Structure 1
Amino acid sequence: MRVLFVCLGNICRSPLAEGVVRARLAKAGIDHIELDSAGCGDWHVGQPPDRRTMAVAKARGIDLSALRARQVRVEDFHDFDLILCADRSNLAHLRRMAPPDARATVALLRDWAEGGDAGLEVPDPYSGGQEGFESVHDMLEAAAEAIVARLTSRPAGGG
């Protein structure tokens, strides 16, 4: 099973989602699920996550320092089983970009969370203050539990 998290620039929401879900998988001793993150835009390609993203993650025991931003590629629709988008704008962009023979399921990230999160977006904290990054981390932590539960209930390599 391979999962790609996507946001606009791949320096705030998607690397944090990757880190939070990776930490949950490690805590559960699950190593058959591969994770990555990417952005719809190319502005930050090669850069580490935003310093505020890294600070929030580090404060909660998650190290994002090895991550570097990359842009979504057409090959991702064949290389991944599931692509989870932070918001509807990213979701619409990926649905337009997807080749007709895409293997990946493309969905809104919070649609994979339990409870009343279906249809909700992960807001972009980039233009705001540190509290926005804290709030996004809390959302992603809540979603990660349900995402990991759903991913681990499916067979490895399943799509």
Structure 2
Amino acid sequence: MRSVLFVCTGNICRSPTADGVFAKLVADAGLDVLVDSAGTHGYHIGDPPDPRSIRAARTRGYDLSPLRARKLVAADFTRFDLILAMDRGHLDIMRRMAPAGSTAELSLFADHAPAPWRGRDVPDPYYGGADGFVEVLDMVEAGAKALLARARAVFG
């Protein structure tokens, strides 16, 4: 695994949180992994992550502020080795979007996470309060640490 893309709806809450957390973990581990995030919809193209995501991440040492929302595009399916959907709806959209000849492995983010998060959709915190962003961060940290172990296995 040399490149990972995280995908949610608008690319301002869940996927940039995963992007920022995983990018810091691989950098701290000294691994060379391309990390990015995108949305299935273009609602927020060019916007920074939701301020609540930025605040929650900052409390644990992650800086999401440089990130900007973008939309998932066909080229992503060959540019990235692993594309992780934050929920099953995103995974369905990704599977329909994937062009013939796609090389990326598509899966649910939480399928790589340990219990109790394994196999669960990462909930969308957008319409709720600050506690939803903390829950997303908890799930993302657990899943990102499991992904880091996978990345270390690839790099030896």
Report the counterpart of residue 113 of structure 1 in structure 2. 113
Report the counterpart of residue 143 of structure 2 in structure 1. 143
Q: Distance in 2 between matches of 1:67 and 1:116?
A: 29
Q: TM-score, normalised by structure 2?
A: 0.95
User: Does 1:26 pair with 2:27?
Assistant: yes
The residue type equivalent to 2:96 in the other structure is R
Distance change >3 Å, CA 61–CA 40, structure 1 → 2: same
Q: Which piece of structure 1 moves more, 59-68 or 38-47?
A: 59-68
Q: Distance in 1 between matches of 2:52 and 2:104?
A: 30
1:96-117 alpha-carbon deviations (Å, 9 max, x no partner): 0001200100100010113453
Distance change >3 Å, CA 79–CA 95, structure 1 → 2: same
User: Does 1:125 pair with 2:135?
Assistant: no
Helix, strand or coil: the match of 1:153? helix
The residue type equivalent to 1:65 in the other structure is S
Question: Aligned residues: percent identity?
Answer: 49
Report the counterpart of residue 8 of structure 2 in structure 1. 7
Report the counterpart of residue 37 of structure 1 in structure 2. 37
List gaps (5 residues or longer) in structure 2.
Answer: none
The residue type equivalent to 1:11 in the other structure is I
Distance change >3 Å, CA 132–CA 38, structure 1 → 2: same
1:21-51 alpha-carbon deviations (Å, 9 max, x no partner): 1121122222x11100000000100000000
The residue type equivalent to 1:92 in the other structure is D
Kindly report structure 1 stretches of 4+ aligned residues shifted beyond 3 Å. Answer: 115-118
Report the counterpart of residue 75 of structure 2 in structure 1. 75
Helix, strand or coil: the match of 2:154? coil
List gaps (5 residues or longer) in structure 1.
Answer: none
Report the counterpart of residue 97 of structure 1 in structure 2. 97
Helix, strand or coil: the match of 1:118? coil
Give the count of matched residue pairs.
155
Once the two structures are TM-superposed, the CA of residue 151 in structure 1 deviates from its matched residue by 1.8
The residue type equivalent to 2:17 in the other structure is L
Q: TM-score, normalised by structure 1?
A: 0.93
The residue type equivalent to 2:114 in the other structure is E
RMSD of aligned residue pairs (Cα, Å)? 1.2
The residue type equivalent to 2:62 in the other structure is I
Report the counterpart of residue 58 of structure 1 in structure 2. 58
Helix, strand or coil: the match of 1:5? strand
